A and B are shown apart, each in its own frame.
Chain A
Amino acid sequence: MPVAEGKSVQQTVELLTRKLEILGAEKQGTFCVDCETYHTAASTLGSQGQAGKLMYVMHNSEYPLSCFALFENGPCLIADTNFDVLMVKLKGFFQSAKASKIETRGTRYQYCDFLVKVGTVTMGPSARGISVEVEYGPCVVASDCWSLLLEFLQSFLGSHTPGAPAVFGNRHDAIYGPADTMVQYMELFNKIRKQQQVPVAGIR
């Protein structure tokens, strides 16, 4: 979701939430997703000079007891929140990238069976973009309900509705899980990091 011309991130978030409220969505508390980047420590790298892999450690307020560890294009590990302590112990192998912490915070909205989370993505002190997550609980297979989601997104995003995320294409009728959401947030955060002002929405 690009920030509207001449308006701040804050104003655009307000615009969006107002549209949702007009639609009939009800406020249901807040949410927060954060992500920290680690790279493999230089000492453990092979002699051939291969690049160190990046690992992302993420938390999602929707799953307060879990901690997600993701590799780019790689597996997603779901662990207890104790995982954070483990990462401290593994300092020798994984080092936290400086000022890499990126997070999105915002409000949860419920509309019928849809769960909408509009958040402001911040990196350090500055707001870098807006994330929109839409979840449709009744359907467990993502590709089954894409057209339905698209119609819902258009109802409040208008022309800024994004294309189908990768999750919908691969794994034809696999059951959608929390890890799929986290992968999307990871991809979104990476895009935001690379660009300065970012027009992306994550869809579940």
Chain B
Amino acid sequence: MADVLSVGVNLEAFAQAISAIQALRSSVSRVFDCLKDGMRNKETLEGREKAFIAHFQDNLHSVNRDLNELERLSNLVGKPSENHPLHNSGLLSLDPVQDKTPLYSQLLQAYKWSNKLQYHAGLASGLLNQQSLKRSANQMGVSAKRRPKAQPTTLVLPLQYVDDVISRIDRMFPEMSIHLSRPNGTSAMLLVTLGKVLKVIVVMRSLFIDRTIVKGYNENVYTEDGKLDIWSKSSYQVFQKVTDHATTALLHYQLPQMPDVVVRSFMTWLRSYIKLFQAPCQRCGKFLQDGLPPTWRDFRTLEAFHDTCRQ
């Protein structure tokens, strides 16, 4: 970019500065030449010393002079790259073939656009943070740029802690039994049996619930090789519906800093299905709607509603 740099700023000063550098270099090399040649070609020792010192002084003076000249010129050349708000890219505006390649105006527009985008993204991130719909502790705000990429701490909780939280929940609800297993390494899988009503397979990632499948009490929850079957869905429509609602609940109960509270809230909500076949809809008062019992449970009140009867 050196040649482009000189174009707009002070071409003359720049050319002079280059020749000043050349002059400085030659005067410096003359100093060393003089030192290398030493005291030669003089008859008396005194004459030789005198002539050498005078010659050496001359050379040093010229170095000094050239250096001063270069310093003066370099001030004239200035520092264009730091004066322009767009830094080096600002120099594109100096391109004489502007009409053919409107790079600079495009660049400006892109810059404005990305500024706006950043502004709006900041607003959106602020709003979303208030709603706390996020599942990880990884804050995505403007500050994320400056912070080093940190693993969300809740993803690396010790296994023992996870076990403790689960067993405490297990003891909390007598009609609910939770069986924890780790068939694939560190991620826990829970088999929750709720009374004689339903079974739930919960796939965990640390203390985050990744996936849930709800099945009937009499349905098989294992694959042929004896592992928990986390992929196939229930053959009953009512449990497919409850599975959908449970997935919604996972997104509703979010508190990234306190994952244990989230798991507990989810299980409390899940427990309200103990009356899946016995509770009439709180809105229409009926048991059945299109052949299904009230499959929805309110997140706060835990009241039973048909899917289409909830507010």
Contacts and interface: CB of A to CB of B under 8 A. Distances in A.
Contacts of A144: 196-197, 277-278
A111 interface: yes
B197 A148 contact: no
B111 interface: no
Interface in A155-177: 155, 173, 175
A19 B53 CA distance: 126
B286 A145 contact: no
Interface stretch (B43-51, B63-71, B234-242): B234-242
Interface residues of B, number: 19
A148 B238 CA distance: 13
B287 interface: yes
Interface centre among A139, A140, A173, A175 (most CB of B within 10 A): A139
B216 A137 contact: yes
Contacts of A93: none
A50 interface: no
Point out which of B216, B217, B288 has the most chain A C-beta atoms below 10 A from its C-beta: B288
Interface string B237-281: 111000000000000000000000000000000000000011010
A140 B292 contact: no
B237 A148 contact: no
A137 B240 CA distance: 13
A147 interface: yes
Interface in A118-157: 136-141, 144-145, 147-148, 151-152, 155
Contacts of B216: 137-138, 140
B218 interface: yes
Given A113-B237, A138-B238, A147-B278, A173 B291 contact: no
Contact of A113 (B218, B280, B291): B291
A114 interface: yes
A56 to B, nearest CB: 26
A145 B236 CA distance: 15
A139 B194 CA distance: 12
A140 B236 contact: no
A148 B291 contact: no
Nearest to B239: A138
Contacts of A147: 278, 280, 287
Nearest to B240: A113
A141 B291 contact: no
A157 B236 CA distance: 24
B293 A148 contact: yes
Interface in B183-199: 196-197
Contacts of A152: 287-288, 291
B224 interface: no
A17 B292 CA distance: 20
A112 B292 contact: yes
A148 B287 contact: yes
A140 B217 CA distance: 7
Given A113-B238, A138-B277, A139-B277, A148 B196 contact: no
A113 B236 contact: yes
* Chain B contact surface mostly: loop
Given A112-B237, A137-B236, A138-B239, A151 B197 contact: no
A24 B290 CA distance: 9
Nearest to B235: A137
Interface in B267-311: 277-278, 280, 286-288, 290-293
A151 B286 contact: yes
Given A112-B291, A113-B238, A113-B291, A140 B280 contact: no
Contacts of A113: 236-238, 291-292
A150 to B, nearest CB: 8
A140 B196 contact: yes
A25 to B, nearest CB: 9
B196 A141 contact: yes
Contacts of A139: 197, 277
Contacts of B217: 140
A158 to B, nearest CB: 15
Nearest to B274: A144
A24 B293 CA distance: 16
B196 A145 contact: no
B197 to A, nearest CB: 7
Identify the interface centre among A24, A145, A152: most chain B CB within 10 Å of its CB: A145
A145 B278 contact: yes
A164 B291 CA distance: 20
B277 A145 contact: yes
Given A112-B237, A151-B286, 5 more contacts: A138-B216, A140-B196, A148-B287, A152-B287, A175-B218
Q: Which 9 A-B pairs have the closest CB atoms?
A: A112-B291, A145-B277, A148-B287, A138-B236, A151-B287, A139-B277, A144-B277, A113-B236, A140-B217
